Structure 1
């Protein structure tokens, strides 16, 4: 037996034993973008096929929609119209958050308050956005308060509900630990409540913003002289389906930028501690 044999045996034993699992590979930015791009390509192709098969002015092809989109962008007015709509949604959602977050936290901490306010939340969730839009047009006319209040009324119930669920899902042991160590309210808010409520808050923000976008368009259709909804109403009045689709696509681009550029980035940053703990 050669002198190298005793050295090979332990190596073989180690090699035959269980190997540690390799850490999962993180998908790069390309891996996250490609599925969305594939979906968009399929959607555009399906629309073009439908337009060719129907062969009607009511179903314009991709080329007609793209030409209308270029015309809207080249005109330059879309910046002001989109800006007006975004401002109304932002103000309405901010108003909803200021009211909904404290109410949701208080409902999560008090069973009596939860039972008292729960019917109002359920009622707010079941009322269609069209009703809020019509009521606010009647109540506030064509002023800024009209879309802001309509967005707040539609966004507040989901924010309250998700905040309530987030508060009730906080580990009681963490609350007891904070009480035993006498953490200040500021430390509890920063180190306990905000990280624990972050997933619920982001879920509520997505749902509230989606409802707010829909309601503000209805308000602009019925009672405003600017905004995306106003332009959609003009295109509808002239039976320009390509124009309606072009403004809808611009509206969708804003939503995509908000989701992928703002919300997901903030969510990854605030949820980084979860990944570190799981490792």
Structure 2
């Protein structure tokens, strides 16, 4: 239902309006000022060009993290020695702040294609690996026996057994990984790049334009919401449809 989210948005907008009118400060612009900035962005090429740049970086970094995480997560879930070997690195990746990852990538790689892609991959991979590893351990052992009896190839096992069985873990890990990716890519663009949403946020901040900062933030949030509700949840419903049908 769309009513609860809509009610939350209305409540937040009302609260912001009251706060802006009470404070009467340029640091807390009114909704009208933010809306004007948002309309100006939407009618210019700046918004779409920078969103395209940021989304491309996120998609490339997340794709790299996804491939590595699936292979490593399945291996860690199936083999205790591999799990013990990689576990410290995965835990280190989970607890290391995104700011540190962004700064190190900027320092080591500077303004290059590798910088944002690697930063996103490092941010997304740990959450994906943990969820995939846990998902592998919950797979029915009889599926492994069946694959062994019928001598399934590696591709057949991955396509017919692992991916369907791991779908819930994959989507949970993907949500966490993408959330971390957004945070890291903005930091990388702020500190070391000359394009993207993060760069524009830093530019508006340098110009002391709080309404511009909030307008870019709202635009970014709308894109993330579209990806969550329009892409991830749609894919999740389609992939998990067979589970619902089999339980009937």
Shift in Å, 1:182: 4.5
Shift in Å, 1:188: 3.3
Alignment of 1:1-279 (within 5 A): 32-279=1-248
Measured in 2, the distance between the counterparts of 1:103 and 1:173 equals 22
Rg larger in 1 or in 2?
1
User: More deviation in 170-179 or 78-87?
Assistant: 170-179
Shift in Å, 1:187: 4.1
Measured in 2, the distance between the counterparts of 1:101 and 1:185 equals 13
| Structure-2 change in CA distance of 1:188 and 1:149 (3 Å) | closer
Structure 2: gaps (5+ residues): none
1:235-261 CA distances to partner (integer Å, 9 max, x unpaired)?
A: 101111110000001111110111111
Normalising by structure 1, what TM-score?
0.85
Measured in 1, the distance between the counterparts of 2:227 and 2:48 equals 16
Measured in 1, the distance between the counterparts of 2:122 and 2:157 equals 30
Structure 1: gaps (5+ residues): 1-31
1:150-183 CA distances to partner (integer Å, 9 max, x unpaired)?
A: 1111111111111101111101133223434545
Measured in 2, the distance between the counterparts of 1:186 and 1:231 equals 43
Question: Root-mean-square deviation (CA), in Å?
Answer: 1.3
